[in-house]
Amino acid sequence: MKLPASSSVLVIATGLVVACSPLCGWQDKETDKLKIRALRDYARQGSETIPKITPYFQDINVEVRREAVKAVVQIGTQRSLEPLAEVCSNNDAEVQIRATDGLVNFYLPGYVDHGISATLRRAGDIVAGKWTDRNDEAIDPDTPIRPEISEALARLVSGGSSMDSRANAARALGILRDRASVPALTSALRSKDSRLMYESLVALQKIRDRSAGPSVVFLVRDLDEKVQLAAIETAGILGPREAIPQLKRVLENSGNKKVKRAAVVALGQIPDASNHSLFVGLLRDKDEEVRAGAAEGLGRLAIPEDRPVLEKAWEEEGKTSPRLSQAFALSMLGETDTGSLKPLGFLVNNLNQRAWRNVALPFLSELCLKPAHRQAIVGSIQASSTQDEKTGIAQALSRCKSADAIPALEKLTKDEDPAVSREALRGLRILRASIQ
C-alpha cells in the first residue's frame, strides 16, 4: 500500500533518527513523537502495515510500545492475533492489558470499548483501570481459540507484571471459555489477591469444567464477601460433593443474607439426599430467595412424595422468583403440560419478561436435557408464540446435546422473524458442534 506523503515523511524522519541513535547515544522526545504519529498513521491503513508496527514492540520507550499495541488492536483483523499474543510477554502492565483486550475484541467485537483498557489512567509510574462488575460476557461455546492465545493469556494469569494485568487475563479466559486454561485459573485461586481470585472464579463458572470443582471449595468461607459469594456460586455450578459440608456450615453460621441465599442455591445445584429435610424446612422461609433455592434443591432430588408440598407452595406463593423455582421443581417431578397456568408453561411465558428471562431460561435449558420435557417444550412453539419465546426455546435446545432437537431448530431457521431465524441458526450450529 502506498503511504500518504505526510506518513512517508514521518516514517523516513523517524527511521533516520532511530538509525543514528545508537551512535549518538540519545533519543529525544521529538523522535518519540514522530514514532507515535507514524504508528497512528499505520493503524489507519490496515493490516498490511502490521509488519511495520511490530518492531516498535521492542522500543526502548514504553510509550512507543504502548502506542504500537494500540495500533495493532485498532487494526483488529486476524493478522493482529499472533503479534498481540506475542506482545503479552512484554514486561509492561499496560501493554499486557491492552494486548489482552485486543485479543478478546477479535472474538467479541466492541470489547475494547468497555474493557479495562478503555479506562486506563496513569499516575506517575502507576497504571490503573476502572474495574466494573459487568462480567457476564462469553463467546459461543463452539468457538475455537487458537492455542497461542490460550497459552499467552494463561502465562499472564500466572506471571503478569501487575495484579491488574493478571486479573484481566483471567477475565479474558472466561470470556473465551478456554478450557485449556483451567490449571492456570485454579492455581490463581491461591494468589491471595481478591481481584485475581474473583476473576478466576467467574472464569471457571463460564468454562464449566467440573474437574475444577474441588479447587474452589476452600474459598467458600473466604473473608472477602465478593470472593466468598463467587466461590459459593462456582461450587454450585461445578458441583463438587466436597463442597456440601462447607456450604452447610456457611448456611448455619453466616449472618450475611446474601451469603445464606447463595449457599442454599448452591446446595440445591448439588443433588444429595442428605439435604432433603433441609430443603423441605426452608421451603417456607421468610426470605424469598431462600425459598427459591430450596425448591430448586427439591426439584433436582426429584422425590415423587414431595409433589404435594411443592404444589401447595406453588399455589400459595406470591413472589415471582420462588414461583419460577417451584415451577422448575414440579416440572422436574414430571409436569410436562405447557398450558399457561401450568408450571412448565409458566416458565415458557416468563421468557417474555425482561426481569425474569435469565431465570427462566437456565431452568428450561436444564429441562430440555430430559426427552419428555424437550418434546413438550418443542410442542409449545406455535405460530402465535412470541419472538422472546421462540428465541429462548432455541437457546435452550442448543444446549440439550441431543440430535432429536435438530428438526425443531431447522424449522425455526425458516421463521419469518429475522431475530428468531438468526438465533435458531446459532443454536443449530452450537448443538451440532456438541454432538459431533
Which pLDDT does position 121 carry in this prediction?
A: 79
Please spell the DSSP secondary structure of 208-234, one letter per residue.
Answer: --GGGHHHHGGGGG-SSHHHHHHHHHH
Domain boundary among 31, 57, 75: 75
pLDDT digits (tens, 9 = 90+) for 98-155: 999 999 999 999 999 999 999 887 755 566 788 887 789 999 999 999 999 999 999 9
| Percentage, residues of the chain above pLDDT 70 | 92
Angle between helices 163-175 and 147-159 (to 10 degrees): 150
Which ranges constitute the DSSP H helices of 239-356? 243-253, 257-269, 276-282, 288-301, 307-316, 320-332, 343-349
- 413 in a domain, yes or no? yes
Please give the span between the terminal C-alpha atoms of the chain, in angstroms, as a whole number.
Answer: 43
19-39 mean pLDDT: 69
Question: Is residue 98 a contact partner of residue 73, using CB atoms and an 8 Å limit?
Answer: yes
Domain count, the chain: 2
Question: Is residue 283 a contact partner of residue 257, using CB atoms and an 8 Å limit?
Answer: no
44-59 burial, b if ≥16 CB within 10 A, otherwise e? ebeeebbebbbebbeb
Question: Is residue 161 a contact partner of residue 171, using CB atoms and an 8 Å limit?
Answer: no
Q: How many other CB atoms are there within 10 angstroms of residue 25's CB atom?
A: 7
Nearest to 291 by CA among 333, 335, 331, 326: 326
Q: How many other CB atoms are there within 10 angstroms of residue 61's CB atom?
A: 15
299-314 mean pLDDT: 97
309-322 mean pLDDT: 96
- 32 in a domain, yes or no? yes
Which pLDDT does position 9 carry in this prediction?
A: 44
Domain boundary among 34, 54, 75: 75
What's the chain's average pLDDT?
A: 92
pLDDT of 25 higher than 60: no
- Among the residue ranges 24-33, 191-200, 284-293, 402-411, the one predicted with the least confidence is 24-33
309-315 mean pLDDT: 96
pLDDT of 14 higher than 70: no
- 206 in a domain, yes or no? no
- 107 in a domain, yes or no? no
- 425 in a domain, yes or no? yes
Rounded CA-CA distance 286/297 in Å is 17
Domain boundary among 43, 75, 107: 75
pLDDT of 372 higher than 50: yes
pLDDT of 15 higher than 60: no
- 420 in a domain, yes or no? yes
- 268 in a domain, yes or no? no
pLDDT digits (tens, 9 = 90+) for 376-431: 999 999 988 999 999 999 999 999 999 999 999 999 999 999 999 999 999 999 99
144's grid cell: 475455537
Domain that holds residue 5: 1-75
pLDDT of 310 higher than 70: yes
pLDDT of 13 higher than 70: no
- Indicate the pTM of the whole model: 0.91
Rounded CA-CA distance 403/408 in Å is 10
Which pLDDT does position 271 carry in this prediction?
A: 94
The helix, strand and coil proportions of the chain, stated in percent and rounded to the nearest 5, come to 70, 0, 25
Angle between helices 357-367 and 320-332 (to 10 degrees): 10
- The CATH number covering residue 355 comes to 1.25.10
197-209 mean pLDDT: 97
- 12 in a domain, yes or no? yes
Rounded CA-CA distance 185/196 in Å is 9
Which ranges constitute the DSSP H helices of 29-146? 29-45, 50-53, 62-75, 81-87, 93-107
Rounded CA-CA distance 180/192 in Å is 23
pLDDT of 17 higher than 50: no
366 phi, psi to nearest 5 deg = -70, -40
pLDDT of 375 higher than 60: yes
User: What value, to the nearest 5°, has the Cα angle with vertex 392 and ends 387 and 397?
Assistant: 130
Which pLDDT does position 20 carry in this prediction?
A: 43
Nearest to 266 by CA among 242, 297, 287: 297
Question: Is residue 428 a contact partner of residue 409, using CB atoms and an 8 Å limit?
Answer: yes
